[in-house]
């Protein structure tokens, strides 16, 4: 199993550009989520999904959209990039959303917005 | 926002030392507790869950004190490979979902 994969690994955007961060898992996990990690901050939840067709907002959803058309994929879309969105983005998956399951994280996408 | 507080460190210790980290959490309704390890520029990985009775995994011991709302991680006989940032993670239920709150991490550097 590849586990959780993310693309791209690095990205530089200009303010106002849009882009999609890709996330895929091959473990048949129902629960997937997106976090951002900023220096001096803990990981913060952006959006999550408890299964195909179901998504919900986390702690910091503004400026981001998600969709979950399949169990495997959970892309994160930046609508109009802003410098405040410069961060490291981690996708994670787990068997369920009960919170007691191990979270498996992807390798991260390092995004810089100029 | 529910808070999880950790000493950011860094903790600089020699090989073979014993080192302990504490973490405090603000939400008394928290249900599950974890320690994750994050290497530099890598993703977090589960180190161990923390049970009410305390648990041990090799050189690592985790303990939970619900009354005082803190969690600890003890590392014995530190190895160079233990150098990493250790994230304290607390889960509480909001609605039908478990919500994970991550601490900012404690950085450990083990020196030869």
A107 touches chain B (CB under 8 A): yes
A90 and B44 in contact by Cβ < 8 A?
Answer: yes
Taking CB atoms and an 8 Å cutoff, what residues of chain B touch A41? 104
Q: Give the residue among B101, B63, B41 at the shortest CA–CA distance from A110.
A: B41
User: Does position B65 have pLDDT exceeding 90, yes or no?
Assistant: yes
Q: What string of DSSP letters covers B48-93? A: EEE-TT-EEETTEEEEEETTTTEEEEEE-S--GGG-EEEEEEEEEE
Q: Quick one: pLDDT at residue B52? A: 85
What distance in Å separates the CA atoms of residue B84 and residue B73, rounded to the nearest whole number? 13
Q: Which residues contact A2 (CB under 8 A, 6 or more apart)?
A: A26
Taking CB atoms and an 8 Å cutoff, what residues of chain B touch A97? 96-98
Q: Which two tokens stand for residue A83?
A: 């410098």
What mean pLDDT is predicted for residues B15-43? 93
What mean pLDDT is predicted for residues A75-98? 93
Question: What percent of chain B stands above pLDDT 70?
Answer: 93
Give the pLDDT band (50/70/90) at residue A52: very high
A93 touches chain B (CB under 8 A): no
Question: Which of B100, B101, B104, B107 would you mutate first to test chain A, the one with the most A CBs within 10 A?
Answer: B100
Among A84-88, A96-100, B77-81, which stretch is predicted with the lowest mean pLDDT?
A96-100
Give the pLDDT band (50/70/90) at residue B17: very high
Between A100 and A61, residue with greater pLDDT: A61
Taking any CB pair shorter than 8 Å as contact, residues of chain B touching chain A are: 1, 4, 8, 31-32, 36, 41-46, 49, 87, 91-93, 96-105
Q: Quick one: pLDDT at residue B3? A: 87
What mean pLDDT is predicted for residues B44-65? 94
Instruction: Give the model confidence (pLDDT) of B77-101 as tens digits.
Output: 999 999 999 999 998 776 656 778 8
Place of tokens 């969105």: A85
């Amino acid at each position: 199993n590849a586990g959780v994969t993310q693309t791209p690994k690095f990205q530089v955007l200009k303010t106002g550009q849009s882009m999609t961060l890709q996330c895929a898992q091959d473990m048949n996990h129902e629960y997937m989520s997106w976090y951002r990690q900023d220096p001096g901050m803990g990981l913060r939840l952006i959006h999550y999904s408890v299964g195909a067709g179901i998504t919900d907002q986390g702690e910091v959803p503004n400026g981001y959209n998600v969709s979950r058309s399949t169990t495997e994929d959970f892309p994160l879309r930046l609508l109009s990039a802003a410098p405040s969105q410069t961060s490291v983005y981690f996708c994670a998956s787990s068997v369920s959303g009960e919170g007691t399951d191990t979270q498996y994280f992807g390798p991260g996408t390092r995004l810089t917005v100029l | 926002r529910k808070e999880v507080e950790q000493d950011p460190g860094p903790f600089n210790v020699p090989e073979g030392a014993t080192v302990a980290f504490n973490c405090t959490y603000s939400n008394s309704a928290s249900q599950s507790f974890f320690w994750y390890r994050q290497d530099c520029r890598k993703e977090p990985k589960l180190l161990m869950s923390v049970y009410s009775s305390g648990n041990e995994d090799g050189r690592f011991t985790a303990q939970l004190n619900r009354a005082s709302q803190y969690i600890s991680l003890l590392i014995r006989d530190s190895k160079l490979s233990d150098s990493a940032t250790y994230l304290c993670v607390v889960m509480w239920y909001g609605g039908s979902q478990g919500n994970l709150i991550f601490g900012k991490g404690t950085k450990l550097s083990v020196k030869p």
